Amino acid sequence: MNKSVFISTLGCSKNLVDSEVMLNILLENGLQKVDSPQLADIAVINTCGFIESAKEESINEILEIAKYKQIGKLKHLIVTGCLSQRYSEELKKELPEVDSFLGTTSFEHIYNIIQGLELGENNSLILDINHDLKPDSKRSLLTEKYTAFLKIAEGCDNLCTYCIIPKLRGKYRSRKLEDIVKEAKELAASGVKEIIIIAQDTTKYGLDIYNEKSLPRLLRELNTIEDLNWIRFLYSYPEDIDLDLILAVKESDKVCSYFDMPIQHSHDQVLKRMNRKTTGKHIEDTIALIKAHIPEAVLRTTLITGFPGETDEEFDALYDFVKKIEFDRLGVFAYSKEEGTPAAIMSGQVAEEIKEERKNKIMQLQQEISLRKNQALIGKDFEVIIEKEIEPNLYEARSYRDVPEIDGIIYVKALASHNEGEFTKVTIKDAMEYDLLGDEII
């Protein structure tokens, strides 16, 4: 099929992997990728439907790209992902500009859908969200060539009361370890130096198929892949971070000492209303265990302010917890009331201005913590990966402390030229509130 395709990916890195699978399918069937909808015959929008702001972004993207049906050569517009899975019937009525909708488990049928559209068929496809995973799905990376995400499971069984994901992505389904390792080796052979392990909850990996938490085993297996430099894992839940996992990180030289742990809150009553399987004390003990074995470990978390019923006292406890723990990386979301979730019908809904005020208060505190932590790094040496040259002999880079697109960057002043994806050593010379400024050791 001699057509051009533009793919827009919204939302999380798990969505990005799905887009990479779709792109590979289309390229293998003769379509050509373009970087603008203005140049495309076909546009695919992989949407997010997690919270209200994400839904609004998805709708705006659909409407914006749909314009190219009038002002460009765009012939077909296809919408995939979580928003399609959640609202396909409503969207069909509200967005006649869209030619086809695919759900979270039907995106691999993208080429068949396009073939049908070429024949004039209206063939949206929403499959069972618990559809079995394919053992392997080839991808064409949309990340930089040296970095790739590696999805190890689909779905979620945690049933947090604020979260719609189980209704969009289904129950937790782990991929087989040998399939994951095979894919990782293929990525490494293609030039990928950094693998980032993702799932809705990476720490539950293997429980459904091996009857035991298998992330530590997976990390140790991946650590043996010669061509890899860095391995990271995100979305690890505190109730499942145990000594075995911590030691797997400590003993595996390629696994970054970086724990992404979305705790959402620290007050026991709020955690209970959220249906989180932990307590503030357990979270604190888990962090202490990590630091006891890996003092240099980076701790990242996300929080929710204004969850239904959150009192001033409960918020103050969260504020004090953040002040005490001093996370290296922290993000805050004002609670988003999502229809279809238990939290949406809870009593004690918090006013929007209070949610935002509490969010801003914690972010202000975190800025102070981050600046202080950055200043403590001055004079220390780090291995970094060069990402791009922004002007002659000045580069953007990241250390093991920095996840791409999420955390800060390091500016490297170099006396010699460097290539994207190259690893080198720097000494931190200055600190800024969000980024670090490095000067390369020659």
Q: What is the pLDDT of residue 414?
A: 83
Give the integer Cα–Cα distance in Å for 424 and 413: 12
Ordered by start, the domain boundaries in the chain are 4-119, 147-376, 380-441
Architecture per CATH, domain 380-441, reads as: Beta Barrel (2.40)
Stated pTM of the model: 0.92
Q: Six-digit token pair at 301?
A: 């978390």
Q: What is the pLDDT of residue 434?
A: 37
Q: Which CATH number fits domain 4-119: 3.40.50.300, 3.40.50.12160, 3.30.420.40, 3.50.50.60?
A: 3.40.50.12160
Q: What is the pLDDT of residue 440?
A: 38
Give the integer Cα–Cα distance in Å for 311 and 322: 17
Q: What is the pLDDT along the chain (442 residues), one digit of tens a residue?
A: 689 999 999 988 999 999 999 999 999 999 999 999 999 999 999 998 877 888 889 999 999 999 999 888 999 999 999 989 888 888 888 888 999 999 898 889 999 999 998 888 878 888 888 887 777 788 999 999 999 999 999 999 999 999 999 998 999 999 999 999 999 999 999 999 999 999 999 999 999 999 999 999 999 999 999 999 999 999 999 999 999 999 999 999 999 999 999 999 999 999 999 999 999 999 999 999 999 999 999 999 999 999 999 999 999 999 999 999 999 999 999 999 998 999 999 999 999 999 999 999 999 999 999 999 989 998 899 999 999 999 988 999 999 999 998 998 899 988 788 999 999 998 888 765 334 444 433 2
Neighbour-count burial for 378-403, b at 16+ CB within 10 Å, e otherwise: eeeebebbbbebeeeeebbbbbbbbb
Q: What is the pLDDT of residue 439?
A: 41
What's the CA dihedral at 257, 258, 259, 260 to 10 degrees? -170
Binding residue ranges for [4Fe-4S] cluster = 12, 48, 82, 156, 160, 163
Q: What is the pLDDT of residue 436?
A: 41
Binding residue ranges = 12, 48, 82, 156, 160, 163
What separation in angstroms does the CA of 422 have from each of 146, 226, 383, 392, 418?
9, 16, 10, 16, 7
The strand ranges marked E within 240-311 are 258-260, 298-305
Q: What is the pLDDT of residue 342?
A: 97
Q: What is the pLDDT of residue 431?
A: 64
According to CATH, the topology of domain 147-376 is pyruvate-formate lyase- activating enzyme (3.80.30)
Give the integer Cα–Cα distance in Å for 67 and 97: 9
Grouping H, G, I as helix, E, B as strand and the rest as coil, residue 259 is strand
Q: What is the pLDDT of residue 253?
A: 97
**Please, how many CA atoms are within 13 Å of residue 17, restricted to the half-sphere of its CB?**
23
